[in-house]
Amino acid sequence: MPDVLGIWNDPGDVAEAVTRLRGRGYTDLETYSPAPFTEVDDAAIEKPSRVRLFTLIGGLTGVVTGYAMTIWMANDWQIMLGGKPFSSIPPYTIIAFELTILFGGLMTLIGLLVFGRLPSTKIDPAYSARFSAEEFGVRVRCRERDVAEVEALMRGHHAKEVSLVGA
């Protein structure tokens, strides 16, 4: 099936075009933008990213590890220090806190990689260096006979160029 690629300069137009295209049932589409534009991204995918889940898990693991490790280690071999209790929570809270941040941060990175499909070895043929300049692109995969309609839709939303990629 051919890939139709439209090129825009304005994120607003892209957003409309994408909404329209998806409304027409062209759900197999991909957008390329030089910078994050929520209007475009939300038009393409409604659901918010699930990275948040990873962060949460990471954080919780951290806090549990923090307290568990400190308290267990202090009691595995009890050593008196300045007459302080073996399981003294306030100092251990600091450790727990730091681990929360540490694990949360790492899990967030992993989340980014998972949901951003990264790292990916192959570059989409539709992608080009102009999208890392200041232009926007929308690639729609459609049946041969729908190509014209897609093109029309794109041009209708001020696409400055429309082309077929890797037919």
Please list every residue from 4 through 23 that binds other proteins, using CB under 8 A: 5, 7, 9-12
Minimal distance, residue 76 CB to other proteins, in Å: 6
Contact assessment for residue 138 and residue 98, using Cβ atoms and an 8 Å cutoff = no
User: Can you tell me which residue has the tokens 């006979």?
Assistant: 145
Is 73 a binder of other proteins (CB under 8 A)? yes
Name the phi and psi angles at 30, rounded to 5.
Answer: -140, 135
Q: Binding of other proteins at residue 98 (CB under 8 A)? A: yes
Whether the Cβ atoms of residue 4 and residue 147 lie closer than 8 Å to each other: yes
Does position 101 bind other proteins by CB under 8 A?
yes
By CB under 8 A, residue 113 contacts other proteins: yes
Q: What is the C-alpha separation between 7 and 59, in angstroms, rounded?
A: 41
When asked if residue 60 is in the footprint of other proteins (CB under 8 A), the reply is no
Residue 25 lies near other proteins (rule: CB under 8 A): no
Q: Taking CB under 8 A as the criterion, which residues in 116-155 touch other proteins?
A: 116-124, 127-135, 144-145, 147-149, 151
**Coil, strand or helix: which one is 164?**
strand
